[in-house]
Amino acid sequence: MESFDFLKSVFANHNLSHWSWTPLQKPLSMDFYKAWIDKSYHGDMAYLKNHIPQKETPQTLLPKAKSAFVFTMDYGLKKNTLPVKNLNIAAYAQDVDYHLWFKDIINKLCADLKSLYPQNEFIGFTDSSPVLERDLAYQAGLGWFGKNTCLIDRKRGSLFFIGEIYSTLAYPQAKSPTPVPDHCGTCDRCIVACPTGAIEPQRVLNATKCISYWTIESKKVPPIELREQFSDLFFGCDICQTVCPWNIKVRDLMSPPAEDPTEDLRMILTSSNKTLLRLFAGTPLSRAGGRGLKRNALIVIGNKKIHALKNVVSAFLHDPELGELAQWTMDKLSDSCKIENKSTP
C-alpha cells in the first residue's frame, strides 16, 4: 500500500497544517438535514433544499470520487480590514471574503495533487458549494458537532473556515478516521446566550430566528418581535461561539468594535447602493447588498437610540421596502425621548 505521509509537506506549503482525509460516502447527518429542511428552518435559502441530491450523493459533483481531503483555516484573530471600524460585525466578515482567497488556495492545491497523481481527478470546494462540510470534517476527525451546531476542535475552538477536495484517489485505510467524541458535556451556554432563541436542543439551529440569517442571507426585513434582540449586531453574530468555553483563548484576543458607530451608520444610509457595493467589493458585506446594509443600519440605530441620525432615518419613511422599518426606528427614537423627558427633573 502506498504511503501518503509526504502529503503533509505538500499541504504545509499552502499553510494548511490542520487537515485530514476520509473515504467519500453519504453524509452521516443526511437524514437530520432533510428533517431540518422539512421544518422550513432554512428560511428563504431555497438553494439548501435544491442541493439535497448533490449533498446526499457526492459523486454527482465528481464521478468516481472515492475520498475527500478536508482542511480548516482559523479566522478568529484576523484584523479588521474593512472601511468601517466601529460596527459590530462577525469576526469572519472583517477581512477579504474567504470564498475568494480560500478557494484560490484549494484550487492551487488541486493542481499540485494533479501533478503528483495525473491519473486522478481533484475538485475543490468552500461552503458556497453543495457539500455538507461539517459532516465531512466530522468524518475526517477534525472536530465534533457542538450544541451551537458548529464544528468544534478542543485545541482550536470553532472559529475556522472549512474547505474540501473531492478526489478519485482511493483512501489508503480500510476505515475512516476515528470521529472526535462530543466534549460539550452538560454545557448549554450557547443555547442560553442566543438572543433570539434560534438554537434548539439536539443541535438544531432555526435559521429563521438567527441574527446572522436576517442580517446576511435574507433579503427581507426581520419580524418586529426579533428586532430588539439584534442589539447593535450589524452583520452576522458570534455570540453562540464567543460564549463557548472551547473558544476562550481566541475570544480574549478578539478586539471589540469602538463604542460610537454613528458616522459609519450615517455613511451607509446616505450612500447609494452602488457606492456601497463598490466600497465593500471583495468582502462578505457585499453579500447583503446595499439595501440589506441599510436595513441593518436602521435596526442598529433604533436599538442603540442614536438620535443624531434621526433626520437621516426619516428620509426612508416612504421607501417601498424599508419604510415600515424606518418608522419602527423613528418610533424607537421617539420612545427613548419620552423616557428621557420623564426622567428629567
Each as own residue / partner, the long-range contacts of residues 269-275 (CB below 8 Å, 24 or more positions apart, any chain) are 269/294, 269/297, 269/298, 269/309, 269/312, 269/313, 269/315, 269/316, 270/312
Give the Cα-Cα-Cα angle 57, 61, 67 (nearest 5 degrees).
Answer: 70
How crowded is the C-beta side of 292, counted as CA atoms within 13 Å? 20
DSSP at 130: S
Active-site entry in 127, 135, 182, 232: 127
335 catalytically annotated: no
- Asked whether 288 and 215 are in contact (CB, 8 A), the reply is yes
Helix (H, G, I), strand (E, B) or coil at 116: helix
Dist. CA 164–CA 68, nearest whole Å: 7
Q: Cβ–Cβ contacts within 10 Å for residue 234, how many?
A: 27
Cell of 268: 451607509
Catalytically active residues are: 127
